[in-house]
Amino acid sequence: MIYCSSIYITASMCWSKQQPRPPVHSNSLEAFICRREKMAAFHLRSISLPSRSHPLAVNIEEQLGKLRASQYSSIGHKLSGLKNLFESVDDFLQLSFAQQTISNERQSQSIENAMNGSLELLDICDTTRDLFSQMKECLQELELSLRRRKVTDSSFTVEVDAYMVSRKKLNKAICKCLRNLKKKEKNCTTATLDNNSNLENMITMLRGVQEISLVVFESILSFISQPKVKSSSSGWFVIPKLLQSKRVSCEVEIEVNEVEKIDAELLILKSSKDIKVSQLQNLLKELEAFESSIKEAEEDLECVYRRLVKTRVSLLNILNH
């Protein structure tokens, strides 16, 4: 029985080897290829999930770090960094996984906060740009009035006082904007993220962008605001012997900026009885140079504003599709 069984099994195996394989029908082949394509597509989707190690995300983190470290950089450098940052953010928002994450969480409080934050940045940037434009106009009016006067005139009190009145109004608006910025910085927090790591990474990134933007706007507005230390008699800001030392003396020495330097020179011009031609010419050159830097900052702010608009449009398009 065992021998017969062995023969039977061997015979069966030989028969199976001799039999031709059943033909592969075209429908079966197409189904096989379709399954392989679906598996490949699934694999591609799985490896493209949002991650903090994505090149664009890494680039944004690096730019945020540079802006945080740019405390003592020029206005132009800070605004240039802000322009590049928002351009990278917009590129990030074009990625499919970023759009899918935002679209899936459109009802999330975190997404709503991000949208509100983008609108606030637009408003702040527009206000900052307008304040720089007003500063430029103040300088232009002062330059024009100084050119009309003769050096032989005994005093430039009228021209200087008119400038300071305009600057005082402008400074009040700047201080109001700075107070609002400080409040927004304190309120820039993250809502509960419902344990969604993809959303958490994205919201953390967007919040970081908003926070550093507020810091940059505060920094550049502080540049054109007047110092807080005033002279009790004239209402002018106390900057004694600035032209010689280039420092402010008011219990603690602090480095002065162009606004403070020009204010000090105008104070000297106002109080001088004997004004030299070279003195007035040097002041006009400094006013022109400062006006040029203000104009450049105004143009940079316009570029930042356009980047902000583009980013907000990208967010709105994602939520509306």
Beta bridge partner(s), residue 248 = 254
Nearest CA-CA partner of 84 in 98, 109, 104, 63: 63
Q: What CA–CA distance (Å, rounded) separates 247 from 321?
A: 57
Domains of the chain: total? 1
pTM, entire model: 0.73
Q: Looking at residue 158, what is its pLDDT?
A: 87
Q: What CA–CA distance (Å, rounded) separates 292 from 104?
A: 47
Q: Looking at residue 107, what is its pLDDT?
A: 81
Q: Looking at residue 37, what is its pLDDT?
A: 44
Q: What CA–CA distance (Å, rounded) separates 153 from 66?
A: 50
Q: Which residues contact 188 (CB under 8 A, 6 or more apart)?
A: 117, 207, 210, 211, 214
CB 201 within 8 A of CB 57: yes
* First-to-final CA distance of the chain: 75
Which residue's entry shows tokens 């709105």? 316
Q: Looking at residue 218, what is its pLDDT?
A: 94
Is residue 102 domain-resident? yes
Residues of the chain with pLDDT under 70: 1-53, 150-155, 189-196, 227-257
Q: Looking at residue 253, what is its pLDDT?
A: 34
Is residue 279 domain-resident? yes
57-79: pLDDT as tens digits: 899 999 999 999 987 788 999 99
CB 239 within 8 A of CB 263: yes
Is residue 144 domain-resident? yes
Q: What letter represents residue 312's amino acid?
A: R
Is residue 29 domain-resident? no
Q: Looking at residue 165, what is its pLDDT?
A: 93
The domain in which residue 125 lies consists of: 53-226+253-319
Q: Which DSSP letter does residue 226 get?
A: P
Q: What CA–CA distance (Å, rounded) separates 149 from 159?
A: 9
Is residue 238 domain-resident? no
Is residue 203 domain-resident? yes
Q: Which residues contact 103 (CB under 8 A, 6 or more apart)?
A: 318, 319, 321
Is residue 40 domain-resident? no
Is residue 171 domain-resident? yes
